[in-house]
Structure 1
Amino acid sequence: MTTKTIGIIGGGQLGRMLAMAAARLNFETVILEPQAGCPAAQVANRQIIAAYDDPEGLAELAAVCDVVTYEFENVPVEAAENLARVVAVYPPPRALEMAQDRLTEKRFLNDCGIPTARFHAIDSQVDLEAALVDFGGQGVLKTRRLGYDGKGQRVFRSNGDSAVGGYAALGSVPLILESFIPFEREISIIAARGLDGTVACYDAAENVHRAGILHTSTLPARLSPVADLAASRAAKKLLTALDYVGVIGIEFFALSDGSLIVNEMAPRVHNSGHWTEAACIISQFEQHIRAVAGLPLGNPARHSDCVMQNLIGDDILSVPQWLKRDNVLVHLYGKTEARAGRKMGHVTELLQPSGEGYAGKKPG
């Protein structure tokens, strides 16, 4: 292996789990993160304390690393592009550009032939009112940039919901109104693409959110074989179009007619893929490290059915009870302060063998 040191921009729990996976494969990791003693730095070889767009910090990261990746999608695109001129950066900065703006993302997905909800760009109160008329008074208004875990959103469920002040209420910034989707369930696909173009898809997870934050991911998802295949094909199409390298998370809405539409993509390892560390030989974190380091992708097959549950805020107090159970993997994130809405860890409960073995899931 020629890659020896992997840089990770971002020091949260995803960076922490990437660093742990890298260490198992004999890679060193360097974290770029402005917060000293962050969760990722607790398990990495080194931390560069600098802002994500700090030129000196990025130059230092490039000088000591063979390849650089990131743990969240709000890394400044210009910083990633400048970094990519001197060191390999995966996933490619273009994926960041697509994911950071919901309007750009939706248009790109549609250009790839991947269906999404209908949408309108909203740049004024007049735009909002006209778009709501087009959508029959229903829709989900979102900030185009920087929203996550349900933040920066407002739902209009009927003509009776007043739009007055709706544009200003979300900051008078560029917005997008998406048509309201009466979906039956939310699912996600974790997929990876290697440097050689090989693609590997994990099984679809069925997700439940509370207050806009992922609560559980359950395997297997209640999907027809046709829908399951459609999700994998959409993932492969998207990865190829982006000339992607690394792991991606893609969220879908499953409709009553059995069809799927994409909600959003995340160009990184994803919360709804945490189950893979307990129910697969190769976790999403190892898969990502393999991809960015130019190693062969691993088999994404699931050996067990499972339920992953996030530990949010005071849920951390339940850890002693989870530890008493012999079919549960507990993973804590090294955070000392439990706050409302803060992800403190997760648990994955293995339910039974999947019955699928490892046939049919090898990368290809």
Structure 2
Amino acid sequence: TDLLKSVQYNYQSTVREIKNTISDLGEGSNVDVIAMGDDNTEFRIRASLGKSIPKADKVKLIENEVIHPLKEKYSALKILSLPDYEALVNSLSIDLGEDSSVADLQDILGKAVAIKAFEKGNQSKYIMDTTFSQLIAKKKVEEPLQKKFPQLNIKDNTTYDPTQGAAIKEQAFLVSLLVLALILLYIGIRFEFKFGVAAIIALVHDVIVVLCFVLFFDREVDIPTVVALLTIMGYSLNDTIVIFDRIRENKEILATEDNNLVVNNSINQSLSRTIVTSLTTLFVVTCLLFLGGPALENLSFALFVGVIVGTYSSIFVASPVLVIWENFLAKRDSRKVNKLRKSAPGKKTKKSEDKVVV
């Protein structure tokens, strides 16, 4: 996906009219329009390009959306440096040939271009920072909508460049691996390594299940959703550590008891605390879901599902994984002992051939 655009506006319209207005995004593009209320005045639009932007189109965008509008007012304009067309942020340095201000330039170019002075005290030289996704969003989405619906009011506007999106994905993946490694290290030191692995499996389970619900109900995976996922991971991990701590205590007290029985008793002992905490949290999240409005809808929905999933995963995922691991290790050690006993050769003593030393 090369361009993600989220716009909310107030005007009497329909989903079909909006899609027809911004249909000129090129081959392979896709436009999703979601009504945010029952009165058909507020919508969320998500538009994505089907392919990456060719360099020739990037050059035209800079010319048509930045340079030409400025030249119409500042005829003596000179280009000091052209942007790097492969960079995340494209910077263009210009000399207007006369004094001006950031506010005047912003009125000409709009919010898609960030403007700053080239050097302090100089009012004729400026640096223009923008991205091609912002320029396309302005040209292909905002301007057609403004023309079709004069009373349009943009309430939220977010764009993602393809290169920027790839970099964000890579950074998020690396950060996630680092967080999981630190969690594994902490629980490994605080408890044992097998406890850490069981907790990580439960966390991965929580995130996957919540994402499945989000996608099944056709909700957008936006920044509030990501915030909810991180919150759910912390909530679930805290719940899991409480149960693991009780398991560790009972292993010391009930050292001779069966491992399955120790884990089961530990879960039962902490069950009331887990249920009360989860119900209290769920009550607050439910209020957010039904009373928080459209702005908090994605966040509260992911939290609502996550609290439920995180609660049962601490009991029915993390603990069973720990039990399976420990039973596997016990059986493996038992097989090793039996194998050693069977492989030990018998020897006859000198005193009596009937006596065998093993």
The normalised TM-score by structure 1 is 0.26
Which structure has the highest strand share of the two?
Answer: 1
Q: Looking at CA atoms only, which structure, 1 or 2, has the larger radius of gyration?
A: 2
Which structure has the highest helix share of the two?
Answer: 2
The normalised TM-score by structure 2 is 0.26
